[in-house]
Structure 1
Amino acid sequence: MHVEVDLLGQFRVSIDGRAASAAAWRRTSSVTLVKLLALARRHRLHREQVMDALWPDLEPEAAAANLRKAVHFTRRALGAHDIIALDGEVVALAPGAELAVDAALFEAEATAALQANDRGATERAARRYAGDLLPDDRYAEWAEEPRQRLRELYVRVLEAAGLWERLLAVDPADERAARALMQAALEAGNRGEVVRQFERLRESLRVDLGVGPQAATVAIYEKALALGGAQPTGIAERVRGLLAWGIIQLNSGDFGDAGQKGAEARTLAIAAELGREVGEASALIGLAAHMQGQWQELFQSEFVDWVRGAPSVASNVFDGHLCLAEFCLYRAGGHEHMAKAARELLGIAEAAGSVPGRVLASLILGEAELFSGRLTAAEELLTSAAQLSAAARAPFGEALALHRLGEIALARGQKWRAGRLLQKGLRLAESTWLAPHLLIRFQALAVEAAATQSQAMEAIRQGDRRLAEKCTCQPCSMGFRVASSIALAEAGELDQASRRIDEAERLAGMWQGGPWVAAVWEARGVHRQARGESDQASALLREAAARYAELGRPRDQERCLARAQAVEVRLAG
């Protein structure tokens, strides 16, 4: 019997050339058992290792019963009794067959090629890598270490073979690969290719996320621009070079110089009518001010200047500041302070007849009302912001307003309405350069608005794919991380939920003063409840409620208290 198991890029089992259909795998445990054994050294494990990996929360007797069932259903799914052997305390995969596992074959061939320093062999080994290990088991603890090990080995193979384009396909933000291609193009006198690679890199290393290319990469770009020839350096290329240097200075702590580079870039971008670059330059100016504790003063000054002096570019300028405005809204007392400022700014915008100014002020006011629990007032302001944005063709403002209106619909129990707002908002979000902030926030809404468990799981998978692209605002991803943790806990996927909560907690610690620590407490409470640990669940949920109360977010506080009280009622009964 010849057995082939594919783990890279997909999961598939073939016996004597016949692949098992997806319909044959009716039990998740049987699929996972095969995957676990295929990854194991010599494709065999002690039965307790299997039980600990698959059913860590069960008593030994219950876990052993589950193991026997998993073996039975695996044999039935594959139509071969010998595919799984139980020999005393050992569980083995196809011990009497000719077994080929693609992940093991790749690892052996790649390791040998690297040790031999043979470029041809590394190229052949690279062809064996069909994709990341078990992409559908992204949060399975037992798959994490081999997935990371194989991915790192693949990257080493690509580097050794000089397969830079393929390395960028794996990780578009890999600056070593981009710089190698840029250097080769520069040496060939191909100015256009240098510029193309630099632009592709900038899509992953984004100004609005505070991340940019390294100095050595920007230097190659500027050498290419200096080549001149038939394609003279344009304003857009000069602007992008200034922005790249500005991010380098920002990350080096030279905040004043970074802000100056942003101002120079914005002046040029406005003259050339480069809307996105106006927004990026404004984001750089805002980030530099934020790092010096001066953003709120700068924002108010910028608002007044742009609604009165240059209304045609005000929307682009405001787009660059909106993420920082959101950050300030989240802080303790932030929505009250920002609401006060926004009321003044709304008056200025109305007096100046500035639609972008009215959009921004209405958005901030609407969000502040939402956080304060005043849903009717929030809905009126956000609806106005959405309508004004649509009229002004400002997709980011409209998408953000629709996202918040979706949250209001959920708060009222209107999942159907939240779903409609979600679909419209997603289409808008995909059309804006600030998609890395918006799309992952809509995925959180999709998880919470799901009508069925299967829809929630699909929304989680879509969100995971967005996170895997590594071009997502981390603070904006927190809502999705928490929502997916809660949904998985409620679906009984406790291991996956626990791992996501740990990651969310790590990220929450990076932004003090906001709601995310409270949200992590809430997720842990739901997780403990799902585990049947009612006392701990109640305590965690009440702690989350207290933290939300400190932030002045009564709606979130009430939700956590209701969860805690429901747990306590069941415990008392």
Structure 2
Amino acid sequence: MGGFRVLVGQRPVPDAVWSRRKPATLVKLLALAPAYRLRREQVMDLLWPELEPAAAGANLRKALHAARRALDVGDGPGEGTALIGSVGDLLCLPSDEVSVDVSDYRALAAHARQTRVAGAYWDALDLHRDGLLPEDRYEDWASAPREELRADWVALATELASLLEEGGEVDEAARAVARLVAAEPAHEEHHVRLMRLYALAGRREEARRQYDRLRAALGAELGVEPSPRAQRLYEEIRGGRGGEPDLAVELWEKVGDLRAQSGDDDGASRAYEQALRAVTEPVATIRLHRRMATALLMAHHTDQAARHLHAAEALAPDVAERGRIACVRAHLKRECGDLDAAAALADHAHEVALEHGGEDDVVDALEALAIISHMRGDWRAGLLAQIGRLAGTDLGGRVGRYLEINHCAGQYQLYGDAFAGDVADYARQTLALAERSDAVAVQAFAWCLLGESMLLRGQFEEADACLARSCELYTPMGSRTVALPWLRRAELAVCTGAFDAAAAHLKWATAIATVAPTSRHAWARLHAIAALSALEQDDLDAAVEAVAAAQVTASRYGDCPSCGALLHPLGAETLARAGDLAGAREFAAVAARTVDTFDSTAWRAMAASAAAWVSLAEGDRGAARDGFEAAAAAFDKAGHPFWTARARRHADAAG
């Protein structure tokens, strides 16, 4: 990052020895590759795509010889040969002896996201410098990793700014957003955010100057004026109103909403508390108390949530707001174990929402009813009862959020010992009722559930037809819908060896998960299937990339223990095969904890498989064989033939 430079030990390699571009590019490619290794054919395709294999091979041999000579900066010749190794068809750097700042950045970014310590974020951001290999900005092979790292850096800086805002460190948040403005000068949202932060910090003149910079940047790059929203903010700041309580309330409420969406309930509570300290308008006060109660309930703080709901009710809310409060009270009763009272409140909230509320209120009430039905053990009957309510109801952009809750409950049905046997029959019953009621969204859900059941049972042709129909029904509902049927189609394609089709389905699912409001249910399974596809093709590097990506998305969006359970055994397998014993152990521990929470034969099989991979990485082949055999027996009992056969292959290999 910031420019290509190589040191061997403490000795720098002189820039002059890289006068020929191809040897330097070879070192760069290896330094950026997963595990610092690439197949010779990959290197030839990247460096000499226009040449025949024989000519490209000859050029590679020359470049490799020159690169090794360039690295001979020690006491004698031959050091470069040791530093760029050749193992069969692979060229590699010594992974246990090499340090690359790109890898350092990724490690620092992951540490920052795990610890949520501002200093860790700054360390990672500073390492990015001027981006990846600025001298190669026009090279095709460098563009993808450069853009990936740049996008991650922007996301990291955005996360830091939100973290600092949440903690009330407005000046430091402004410093983080200023970095974003410098990196993306024509991105209006960064400028507007910085203007708000300057205003909140009392730095009005800087806020006004920031608007001038925004106007100049938009005019120079896009030939447009700032948006009406940015102009209104500028007028507020120029008129002396930009740092008043209303602006503080809006900012903190937005921070709270963002934190809630990412699953950071404690952070959301702190942000809503900051907003409540500044708010003066009664309607906003009621809304903030309700949102504060919701965040507290997600963190299981029932007493505090009850106090905020009482405060909201004491301010005499209107009918629609009383319905919203009733919905939150339903969650409070559920959290306290009074499921009958919770169901009655959610029913009331739904009736009020239909008559007086909006689209969001209707979906919130339906979500509450789905969760309560699942907790009561009558989710199946609860969904069937809701189908009539959904007839003629436009769920709009929230259709994905409502159905994602039901898909999540469906995973318990598919993998739970008490339910899995007749899931297909229940899906057919649901489909028939949804068709009679013309509830298209539930039809899409039922086709997916039926396809999932057949997929797990090894009925691949029938599964593909059902899942394709689910995708067909979901597609017109918009991009912010449900990724699961595309994910299951990708899983099916891997099971049948259709890896190109799997990649296409995963690409579609990724697009949905990127914008869906409940994407935490999708990301872990998405990356798990990508890892499975790579493992089945013996592409360990791609599997490692998928597992690393899963850890990044979990830190951004949160995860769902049941929807993401497949990642744990595949993550353990990937990292065990890659030699990362600590990482494999971590995935195996999570798989074991999942069984403690959701005990079933299928999830026990996943945990046994994960533990077996750890045993294999530790060198205990006997324990590994026994673990794989236990996993195969459990998968067989659960009726999952693909996973049974796979575990048996691993047992034979371990033996």
Alignment of 1:257-406 (within 5 A): 257-271=341-355, 274-303=358-387, 305-306=388-389, 309-310=391-392, 312-313=394-395, 318-332=403-417, 334-393=419-478, 395-397=480-482, 399-406=483-490
Distance in structure 2 (CA, Å) of the matches to 1:72 and 1:389: 50
Instruction: Spell out, residue by residue over 1:356-398, the C-alpha distance to the aligned partner (whole angstroms, 9 max, x if none).
Output: 232222112111101111111100111011101213448534x
- Asked if 2 retains the 8 angstrom alpha-carbon contact of 1:255 and 1:292, the reply is yes
Alignment of 1:89-168 (within 5 A): 130=121
Alignment of 1:212-223 (within 5 A): 214-217=302-305, 219-220=307-308, 223=311
Q: Which of 603, 613, 617 is 1:526 aligned to?
A: 613
Structure 1 residue 313: Cα displacement = 4.9
Where does residue 443 of structure 1 map in the other structure? 527
- Does 2:546 correspond to 1:459? yes
Q: Which of 589, 596, 609 is 1:502 aligned to?
A: 589
Where does residue 482 of structure 1 map in the other structure? 569
Bigger mean CA deviation after superposition, 444-453 or 544-553: 444-453
- Asked if 1 retains the 8 angstrom alpha-carbon contact of 2:309 and 2:329, the reply is no
Which residue identity is paired with 1:346? L
Q: Which of 334, 340, 358 is 1:250 aligned to?
A: 334
Where does residue 413 of structure 1 map in the other structure? 497
Structure 2 unmatched ranges of 5 or more: 1-9, 11-26, 34-93, 102-107, 109-116, 128-162, 174-251
Instruction: Spell out, residue by residue over 1:118-143, the C-alpha distance to the aligned partner (whole angstroms, 9 max, x if none).
Output: xxxxxxxx975646999x9xxxxxxx
Which residue identity is paired with 1:185? A
Which residue identity is paired with 1:561? R
Where does residue 556 of structure 1 map in the other structure? 643
Instruction: Spell out, residue by residue over 1:171-208, the C-alpha distance to the aligned partner (whole angstroms, 9 max, x if none).
Output: 8421652353144124x557537746965885x678xx
- Asked if 2 retains the 8 angstrom alpha-carbon contact of 1:332 and 1:514, the reply is yes
Which residue identity is paired with 2:605? A
Where does residue 516 of structure 2 map in the other structure? 432
Structure 1 unmatched ranges of 5 or more: 1-14, 16-21, 29-68, 79-101, 103-125, 137-153, 569-573
Where does residue 65 of structure 1 map in the other structure? none
Change (3 A) 1:546 1:70: closer
Structure 1 residue 539: Cα displacement = 0.9
Instruction: Spell out, residue by residue over 1:311-333, the C-alpha distance to the aligned partner (whole angstroms, 9 max, x if none).
Output: 54596765543321221121126
Which residue identity is paired with 1:289? S
Other structure's SS at 1:449 match = helix
Where does residue 284 of structure 2 map in the other structure? 192
Distance in structure 1 (CA, Å) of the matches to 2:625 and 2:586: 21
Which residue identity is paired with 2:455? L
TM-score by length of 2: 0.57
Distance in structure 1 (CA, Å) of the matches to 2:286 and 2:629: 56
Where does residue 173 of structure 1 map in the other structure? 265
Distance in structure 2 (CA, Å) of the matches to 1:127 and 1:480: 29
Change (3 A) 1:73 1:522: closer
Distance in structure 1 (CA, Å) of the matches to 2:305 and 2:519: 25
Which residue identity is paired with 2:639? G
- Asked if 2 retains the 8 angstrom alpha-carbon contact of 1:213 and 1:248, the reply is no
Distance in structure 1 (CA, Å) of the matches to 2:638 and 2:289: 45
Where does residue 547 of structure 1 map in the other structure? 634
Instruction: Spell out, residue by residue over 1:16-70, the C-alpha distance to the aligned partner (whole angstroms, 9 max, x if none).
Output: xxxxxx9799799xxxxxxxxxxxxxxxxxxxxxxxxxxxxxxxxxxxxxxxx99
Distance in structure 1 (CA, Å) of the matches to 2:95 and 2:504: 41
Change (3 A) 1:445 1:276: farther
Distance in structure 2 (CA, Å) of the matches to 1:72 and 1:286: 53
Change (3 A) 1:130 1:296: closer
Change (3 A) 1:132 1:480: farther
Change (3 A) 1:132 1:376: farther
Change (3 A) 1:485 1:190: farther
Distance in structure 2 (CA, Å) of the matches to 1:267 and 1:372: 40
Instruction: Spell out, residue by residue over 1:121-169, the C-alpha distance to the aligned partner (whole angstroms, 9 max, x if none).
Output: xxxxx975646999x9xxxxxxxxxxxxxxxxx99x9699999979997
Distance in structure 2 (CA, Å) of the matches to 1:562 and 1:527: 17
Which residue identity is paired with 1:370? L
- Asked if 2 retains the 8 angstrom alpha-carbon contact of 1:440 and 1:476, the reply is yes
Change (3 A) 1:244 1:23: farther
Distance in structure 1 (CA, Å) of the matches to 2:403 and 2:98: 58
Where does residue 32 of structure 1 map in the other structure? none
Which residue identity is paired with 2:304? A
Where does residue 513 of structure 1 map in the other structure? 600
Which residue identity is paired with 1:296? R
Distance in structure 1 (CA, Å) of the matches to 2:605 and 2:333: 34
Please, what is the CA RMSD of the aligned residues? 4.6
Aligned sequence identity (%): 20
Other structure's SS at 1:476 match = coil
Other structure's SS at 2:377 match = coil
Other structure's SS at 2:563 match = helix
Structure 1 residue 531: Cα displacement = 3.6
Other structure's SS at 2:497 match = coil
Instruction: Spell out, residue by residue over 1:249-279, the C-alpha distance to the aligned partner (whole angstroms, 9 max, x if none).
Output: 1111111121122212222333457444433
Distance in structure 2 (CA, Å) of the matches to 1:520 and 1:374: 25
Change (3 A) 1:362 1:182: same
Which residue identity is paired with 2:265? A
Alignment of 1:1-20 (within 5 A): none
Distance in structure 2 (CA, Å) of the matches to 1:400 and 1:377: 17
- Asked if 2 retains the 8 angstrom alpha-carbon contact of 1:173 and 1:201, the reply is no
Distance in structure 1 (CA, Å) of the matches to 2:356 and 2:509: 29
Distance in structure 1 (CA, Å) of the matches to 2:362 and 2:445: 17
Distance in structure 1 (CA, Å) of the matches to 2:366 and 2:610: 35
Structure 1 residue 564: Cα displacement = 1.3
- Asked if 2 retains the 8 angstrom alpha-carbon contact of 1:279 and 1:320, the reply is no
Structure 1 residue 494: Cα displacement = 1.5
